[in-house]
Structure 1
Amino acid sequence: MGRDELCITVPSLFHCPISLDVMNSPVSLCTGVTYDRSSIQHWLESGHDTCPATMQVLSSKDFVPNLTLRRLINLWTSSTSSPSPADLEEKVIVWMEEINSAKFERCLDSIVEFVSRGEVNRRFLATFDGFLETIVGVLSVNGMQIRVLETVIRILSLIVLENGVNEKLHKLIFKSYPNSNCLPSFISILRNGSLESKMACFTVLESVTTDNESKRFIAGVENNFLPVIIHLIKIDNDDQELHDVVLSFLIAVSVTRSIKSQLVQLGIVEVLSNIMSSQNAAISVVEKSLKMMSIVCTCADGRSALSSDQKCWGGDSEETNEGLENGNGGCRGGAVEHVLFVQG
């Protein structure tokens, strides 16, 4: 397994000023400048009597080993060198054993660091026999600490786009139910996690919710998942990036009449009209809101809720009418009327 070279930055202090390579045997001249021994020896033996970096005339051509710098270089080299496949396998096996023993403190952070270093590492871990089963198993444990759940979701979000991972995760998350249920862990993060973790949740969920069966499962009333999502975009009404991923997910899962009706009952029309009437809403968020509005209007409940939402129609206020004329008031200048017209 090769090292992802783009992930490694050599400290400038470790470079020889002459060869520009990492120094094998750093030595210092009387000027205080350090060079690799072979490079400075060649310079001096060529008849030069100056320090190459400063061009000062040397009072002495003697040099002394820079033992401190040599020790730092050796430590850095050992920490960044590419481990063999056997060493990597042993490391992942140890991580899996620690996870199974609920020793999360060190191993999960180490896994995040490992997969963050590049595609090669992500691919290795994603295809390692039993790793996905082990890490997903953490999500099915009741009462797991939120920090542990957040770290697991971050790991999954980093590897979910690797070839074949979303199919495996789909089976692990949905096909193993009711023996294991991961949704409470996702809900816990969406309620109590950081913004980054919430975003990672939707990255994973949208990637693995790939068929109508899983979409119906996600939207099942007994799972209490859709209410959490609607509440999320109601309270985080200023975060455009979060709105964008939430709406993408809702568009993806709204495939049945019952799901659409449930969203309407949860107040999705009011949420969408608030977004579309906001002057601060990003264009992509407005477009997805309009798409979501057109989806819920394919059911009678959706059309009824939309026709009775005064903010969608703009009312009779001068401010709203002026906004409609300028194309930025009410629900973006007649967009909702267009939705109802298209939906009949």
Structure 2
Amino acid sequence: MPSFKWKSSRRIAAAAVVGISGGNKGKRGEEKNNNGTIDVSIPLHFRCPISLDLMKDPVILSTGITYDRSSIEEWVDNGNTRCPVTNQVLSSSNCNDLTSNITTRKMIQEWCVANRSYGIERIPTPRNPITSAIAAEMLAEMVLASKMDDFEKCGRLAVKIKDSAKENKRNRSCMVSNGMGCALATAFQILADSASSTSIDLNVMEDILSALPEILPLDKEACSVLASGESLRSLVTILKQGSLAGRFNAVLVLRELTRPEKTSNIVTFVSKTEGLIESIVDLVKNPISPTMTKSTLFTSFFLVEIAASKFAKAGMVDVLINLLVNSDKSTTEKALEVLDGICNCEMGIDLVQSHALAVAVLVKKMFRVSDIATDLVVSVLWKISKTHGSDLERCLSEALRVGAFQKLLLLLQVGCGENTKRKVTELMKILNTHNHNRNFDCMDSVDLRGIKRP
């Protein structure tokens, strides 16, 4: 494996040397392309050997090779332990000791200015990375401002922390290791406690909240602080009344709080917060962006295990089925996972059975999205078919009408997991029994193209 990485690295370095597009060269590295227009070639020593792009923050590795900071940091973060060009082994100290190549950076900036007429913008001078001492100082300022109830300063510090964490991974890692997440969580909790008795600008709370997603993952102490009653109620307030960015950050924080590796007590506290489930359902019902919808569904998936009836009562079933009518693969899978969880409660099953479009939409999704989606559809259909309800007969008839039996039979022939296979077999027996003395000739044909046996 090391030899393979070495060969790949040599090819990367060679491509950097030869990596100028063909054409008729003119002065100052100018080239005429086939359309007669002039392209400007990036000088070879201004290119990062890894990305082959113009370096924005050139740094020198201990091996003496200059790389773009973001590229070499990503190279090391991906588990590579050798220099991409020299193949020398890199120690952890080598990776942390990246020296800014100021000379090369100034040369690149001068080259950008000289070629401004060709639309090349001057690269900005990067800021120095955050050190542990700087992170500790920012942490102390945040703690002191929180204790002094100086919330305006807390907001300004939070924005500064967010901007620093977004600059590069090193800044973010430094802040995480120094406990910045817990400091921000504590500041948010103090602000939330004060908000219950005094009038506090919601923008200040959003400023503090905006920094938390930049320093994930949060440790257990920070999550415990954010899971306090006042903090969760403030998150609900932001979900309902906050700006678009504030609501998105609130969803990201809730997603972090409800992850499986967090304690079950935290998830329970979150699920029992008044108005939180309803706010989540409203975000899915009235989507702001695809990314936010997926994050909200992700959070719902972890909450639905202990709050299925709350989601059902809040109208999530109707929202999910309408969402499934026209959604991409990722959204469809997440929506089906939540719907499957809601069907673990009696109210959820009743709502799915009584929904006019539920069965038709579910059957249509089989084989059209992914194997995961197909398994989830089978699970939902199996749950609603095994539970007696006033609309069960109509659901079974609808399933036969839209070709569910035919698709289930095809799924057995194509192959599926043992758990899904068991549910498919039971479903087919239920549908076959229901079909006794009935005649359903109007089954939809199934498109077999692209379906392969695993």
TM-score interval (norm. to shorter): 0.5 to 0.7
Query: Which of residues 289, 295, 311 is equivalent to 1:263?
Result: 311
Distance in 2 (CA, whole Å) between partners of 1:160 and 1:242 is 17
- Tell me if structure 1 keeps the 8 A contact 2:185–2:226: no
Shift, 1:84, TM fit: 6.4
1:58-137 pair list within 5 angstroms: 80-81=127-128, 85-86=132-133, 88-99=135-146, 100-104=149-153, 106-128=156-178, 131-132=183-184, 134-137=186-189
Name the SS for the 2:249 alignment partner.
helix
- Tell me if structure 2 keeps the 8 A contact 1:247–1:292: yes
1:22-33 pair list within 5 angstroms: 22=106
Query: Structure 1 226/91 Cα, relative in aligned 2: closer, same or farther at 3 Å?
Result: closer
Gaps of 5+ in 2: 1-56, 60-68, 71-100, 115-123, 387-454
1:206-245 pair list within 5 angstroms: 206-209=255-258, 210-220=262-272, 223-236=274-287, 239-245=289-295
* Amino acid aligned to 2:238: I
Q: Which residue of structure 2 lines up, in the alignment, with residue 340 of structure 1?
A: 381
Shift, 1:341, TM fit: 1.6
Shift, 1:86, TM fit: 4.3
Query: Structure 1 310/135 Cα, relative in aligned 2: closer, same or farther at 3 Å?
Result: same
Shift, 1:264, TM fit: 0.9
Q: Does 1:273 align with 2:314?
A: no
Name the SS for the 2:151 alignment partner.
coil
Distance in 1 (CA, whole Å) between partners of 2:131 and 2:374 is 62
Distance in 1 (CA, whole Å) between partners of 2:200 and 2:206 is 10
Name the SS for the 2:285 alignment partner.
helix
Write the deviation string for residues 258-292 of structure 1: whole angstroms up to 9, x where unpaired.
x11111111111011101123xx111111111121
Query: Structure 1 275/85 Cα, relative in aligned 2: closer, same or farther at 3 Å?
Result: closer
Q: Which residue of structure 2 lines up, in the alignment, with residue 169 of structure 1?
A: 222
Q: Which residue of structure 2 lines up, in the alignment, with residue 149 of structure 1?
A: 205
Gaps of 5+ in 1: 8-14, 24-32, 35-52, 54-75, 315-319
- Tell me if structure 1 keeps the 8 A contact 2:284–2:297: no
Distance in 1 (CA, whole Å) between partners of 2:104 and 2:247 is 44
- What TM-score do the two structures reach when normalised by structure 2? 0.49
Higher relative contact order (CA 8 A, sep 6+): 1
Write the deviation string for residues 65-89 of structure 1: whole angstroms up to 9, x where unpaired.
xxxxxxxxxxx98x83467654553
Q: Which residue of structure 2 lines up, in the alignment, with residue 69 of structure 1?
A: none
- Tell me if structure 1 keeps the 8 A contact 2:172–2:214: yes
Q: Which residue of structure 2 lines up, in the alignment, with residue 191 of structure 1?
A: 240
- Tell me if structure 1 keeps the 8 A contact 2:317–2:339: yes
- What TM-score do the two structures reach when normalised by structure 1? 0.63
Distance in 2 (CA, whole Å) between partners of 1:81 and 1:239 is 34
Query: Which of residues 295, 298, 302 is equivalent to 1:248?
Result: 298
Shift, 1:132, TM fit: 4.1
- Tell me if structure 2 keeps the 8 A contact 1:297–1:340: no
Write the deviation string for residues 78-120 of structure 1: whole angstroms up to 9, x where unpaired.
x834676545533442343334422335323222222222233
Distance in 2 (CA, whole Å) between partners of 1:291 and 1:251 is 7
Shift, 1:158, TM fit: 0.9
Q: Does 1:309 align with 2:386?
A: no
* Amino acid aligned to 2:344: T
Out of 268-277 and 187-196, give the one that drifted further: 187-196
- Tell me if structure 2 keeps the 8 A contact 1:112–1:151: no
Distance in 2 (CA, whole Å) between partners of 1:168 and 1:325 is 43
Query: RMSD between aligned alpha carbons?
Result: 3.9
Q: Which residue of structure 2 lines up, in the alignment, with residue 38 of structure 1?
A: none
Distance in 2 (CA, whole Å) between partners of 1:335 and 1:80 is 48
Q: Count matched residues.
A: 263
Q: Which residue of structure 1 lines up, in the alignment, with residue 415 of structure 2?
A: none
Distance in 2 (CA, whole Å) between partners of 1:251 and 1:312 is 19
Query: Which of residues 159, 166, 171 is equivalent to 2:215?
Result: 159
Distance in 2 (CA, whole Å) between partners of 1:298 and 1:92 is 44
- Tell me if structure 1 keeps the 8 A contact 2:158–2:210: no
Shift, 1:211, TM fit: 3.2
Distance in 2 (CA, whole Å) between partners of 1:198 and 1:187 is 9
